[in-house]
Structure 1
Amino acid sequence: MILSLFERTIAKRYLLPGRGEAFIALVAGISVGVVMLSVAMLVIVMSVMNGFRAELLDKIVGLNGHAIVQAYGGRLDNWEGVLEDIREAPGVVRASPLIEQPLLISFNGRVEAILVRGNTQQDIDRLTPNVLAGNLAELRSGERNVAIGARLAENIGVRLGDTITIINPEGRATPFGTMPRQIGYRVSAIFEIGIYDYDQKFVIMPMQEAQRLLLLGDTVGMIEVKTTDADRVEEILAPVERQLAGRAVVNDWKTINSTLFEALQVERVAMFFALSFMVLVAAFNILSSLVMLVRAKTRDIAIMRTMGATRRSLLKIFVTTGFTVGAIGTAAGLVLGFLVLAFRQQIVRVIEVVTGQNLWDPSIRFLSTLPARVDPVEIAGIVALALVLSFLATLYPAFKASSTDPVQVLRYE
């Protein structure tokens, strides 16, 4: 919308009321503040929700891949041939044999339920960035070294170099019955994935050690698969699933974590819908401030009409005034939202210190830190929503101003 010099001058004058119009300036300032806060809240909440989903997906996929091919009965015979077939499937980036079994761990009289994972050396090496202490290079077949999660180490009081006992209830049969299999392992590394459940349960060891512990021989329980596109994993692995029908089942990350990600999606949509009403309230603030401005400037509007100002000019003046308030609030909201996101972890810590409450308990939130990921498309949608509602809020007051009858207003002047 192109403005003439006259229209720009009047719009600027109305955006910066004089000393005698402090109340109008206060209402306009409140409108800017409400738009700013509503946009900032939308940016912060949606970015945190996106970050939560993306962080969970990255960490889950980083440890479990995009899908798991799991054998019926827990043992996959001829797994080498199955592994080659999966690796040759179009769209598959990586496939690795995997053993995962719930067992018990004992240390200094304390017993905890754990998940023992037997990985290939390549998969173990991928955990190197997550290691807090120790060296994964010591996890070699025959040396009885393991890596455990940081939360598990805290729970049972294990330190680097300690020896833990892993108990397999399915031990060897003896004349006196089945005796649980108990083997001591040295803790060579402590890692932190960032997902509380994983850091509390997982004990990682070389594949051959897991096979000996679980008496599996040369078999494995499952194959971990990573594809080119996590969202198309079902389509990519459909031929593999048909080929393995009756021998194994393919579970992708969506199925394995369906409850969690569906809950996140529902919450994300609900939060956006609820917070969008804040933008609507902000638009009503703009409308009310413009209505007040029109009422206060009725005499000025009538005078401008008698001096030759057209209805179109008045319409453009008040639309520009209200839309500028919305645009300033939107820009300020983006700046505030990005600042809060940049310092979110420090803000959480300050609030925890002031209130004495643990706002981010990893055992409840799954992740160790508050995540955030900005989606440019989503931010553009938030900006568009705020600007469109701001524009719509200006139409009624602007039409009201443009339809002012100077004869009626100035009759008794």
Structure 2
Amino acid sequence: MILNRYERTIAKRYLLPGKGEGFIFLVAAISLGAVALGVAALIIVMSVMNGFRAELFDKIVGLNGHAIVQGYEGRLSDWQRIATQARQVPGVTSALPLVEQPLMASANGRVEGVLVRGMRRQDLLANPTLMNNVKSGDLRLLQPGSGKIALGTRLAEQLGAYPGSEISLISPEGRATPVGTVPRIVSYTVAATFEVGVYDYDNAYVIMPIEDAQNLLMLGDQVGMVEVMVTNPDKIQPQIGALQQIVGDKGRVVDWRNLNAALFEALEVERVAMFVVLSLIILVAVFNILSSLIMLVRAKTRDIAILRTMGASRRSMMKVFVTVGTTIGTLGILLGIVIGAVFLFFRQSVVNVIQLVTGQNLWDPSVRFLSELPSKTDPFEVGAIIVLALLLSFLSTLYPAWKAASTDPVQVLRYE
């Protein structure tokens, strides 16, 4: 919308409070603040929701892969052939053997349920999710036959273990005796602790060389699964079909969606619902813009009539009031972007301060899955929020602008 010089002058004059117009200016300021809070709330919530999905996806997939080939009864004997042929499938970047089994761990008189994972040494050292999150010790000490393992930090806390501690892993697959099967108990030394940031993993995982896991579980040369990574996890179906043909009747293929379907679907539904609900804040804010413009038009009726008698057109009056309302909305949007950016930058500090003031644990990792409040801002979503706020601000100006343009100078100035 292009304004000429006198239209810009009038619009600027109406944006500033005149004599006896303090209340109108207050309503306009409240409208600006409401738009800012609405935009900030949308940006913050959508960024946090995106951060949740991205962090969970990166960390869950970092340990579980985009798809896994599972052997029936937890055993996959022909895994070398499956892994080799899987790597030849277009779109597949890696296929790694794993052993994974729930067991019991004992240390310092404490017993906890654990999830033992056996990995080849080269795969372990190439896994950034583990290598970049070591809290104590050294994962490079995990060598076949060394009797060394790594624990999640929270599991280590539960067992009272630390690098150098001895813990025992208890497997129900033991040796047969005349009185029944005796559980297999093997002692290991803790070489390192890690914290990937997902509570369930940090509270359960025990990492060891795959050869040691095979010996502990008496698997021989068999593994439990083959972890598969692909180039595009959102379009993994072609690879799933090809992998299932390779596996045949020796196992099944499960992708990351099936492994974590409930969690990611819940996040997506909540993300859409929060966007719709918080958009109502902006809608309420633009109603404030509407009311402030209506009051401004009523206060400026005489001025409008005089301008009309001096040659101002109806179109000019509409442009002036549309500009005033849209300017209020635009300033609110800009302020909202600043508020949202500042909050997201200091998000964890804000959570910590609120916890300190209220004395409540607002971020329990056992409930929230992640150790810290995540954030990932999508520029396209921010753009959509800005367009939505601008559109609603513009629409809220049309009725007051039309009323101003419809002012009849004869009726207004009849008794002047």
Question: TM-score per shorter chain, which class?
Answer: over 0.9
Q: Say if 2:162 is the partner of 1:162.
A: no
Give the CA deviation at 1:174: 1.9
Deviation per CA, 1:201-251: give whole Å up to 9, x if none: 000000000000000000001000110011012222321112323111111
1:364 equivalent to 2:349? Answer no
Aligned equivalent of 2:289: 286
What is the CA–CA distance in structure 1 between the aligned matches of 2:108 and 2:195, rounded to whole Å? 23
Does 173-182 or 253-262 show the bigger shift? 173-182
Alpha-carbon offset, residue 156 of structure 1: 1.4
Q: Map 1:190-269; keep pairs closer than 5 Å.
A: 190-269=193-272
Which string of whole-angstrom CA distances, capped at 9 and with x for unpartnered residues, describes residues 7-49 of structure 1?
Answer: 0000000011224211111011000000000000000000000
CA distance, structure 2, for counterparts of residue 375 and residue 317 of structure 1: 34
**For residue 89 of structure 1, what is the aligned residue in structure 2?**
89
Give the corresponding residue for 1:403: 406
Equivalent residue, structure 2, for 1:15? 15
Aligned residue for 2:415? 412
What residue number does 1:313 align with?
316
- The within-5 A match list for 1:71-110 is 71-110=71-110
Show the counterpart of 1:336. 339
3-state SS in 2 of match to 1:180: strand
Structure 1 unaligned spans of 5+: none
- Which shows bigger deviation, 241-250 or 129-138? 241-250
Q: Is contact 2:162–2:192 with CA below 8 Å preserved after alignment?
A: no
Distance 1:148 1:156 in 2: 10
Within 2, Cα distance between the matches of 1:111 and 1:371?
32
Aligned mates of 1:137, 1:244 — CA distance in 2: 33
The count of residues paired between Structure 1 and Structure 2 equals 413
AA in 2 matched with 1:149: G
Structure 1 residue 120 and structure 2 residue 120: aligned? yes
Question: Structure 1 CA distance, aligned partners of 2:254 and 2:196?
Answer: 22
Q: Deviations over 1:28-84 (max 9, x none)?
A: 100000000000000000000000000000001111111111011211112101110
Aligned residue for 2:111? Answer: 111
User: Structure 1 stretch 366-375 or stretch 125-134: which is displaced more?
Assistant: 125-134
State the TM-score, normalized to the length of structure 1: 0.99
> Using the alignment, how far apart are the partners of 1:30 and 1:122 within structure 2?
60
Q: Distance in 2 between matches of 1:406 and 1:72?
A: 87
What per-residue deviation string (whole Å, max 9, x for no partner) do you get for residues 181-201 of structure 1? 000000000000100000000
Alignment deviations for residues 384-408 of structure 1 (CA, whole Å, 9 cap, x no partner): 0000000000000000000100001
SS across alignment from 2:248 = coil
Structure 2 counterpart of 1:55: 55
1:28 aligned residue = 28
Asked whether the equivalents of residues 35 and 333 of structure 2 are also in contact (C-alpha less than 8 Å), the reply is yes
The residue aligned with 1:135 is 138
| Pairing 1:179–2:204 present | no
Kept after mapping to 1: 8 A contact 2:136/2:163: yes
Counterpart position of 2:148 = 145
1:136-170 Cα deviation digits (max 9, x unpaired): 11101111100000000111111210000000011
Percentage identity across paired residues of the two chains: 61
Contact 2:149 2:189 in 1 (8 A): yes
RMSD of equivalent CA atoms: 0.8
TM-score between both structures, scaled by the size of structure 2: 0.98
1-structure distance, mates of 2:245, 2:315: 68
What CA distance in whole angstroms lies between the structure 1 residues aligned with 2:71 and 2:163? 35
Structure 1 segments of 4+ aligned residues over 3 angstroms from their partners: none
Residue type at the aligned position of 2:100 = E
Farther-moved stretch of structure 1 (239-248 vs 35-44): 239-248
* CA–CA separation in structure 2 for the residues paired with 1:122 and 1:28: 64
Q: Which of 386, 390, 395 is residue 393 of structure 2 equivalent to?
A: 390
Q: Secondary structure at the match of 1:373?
A: coil
Instruction: Please say if 1:354 is aligned against 2:370.
Output: no
* Partner Cα distance (2:6, 2:123) in 1: 70
Amino acid at match of 1:50: N
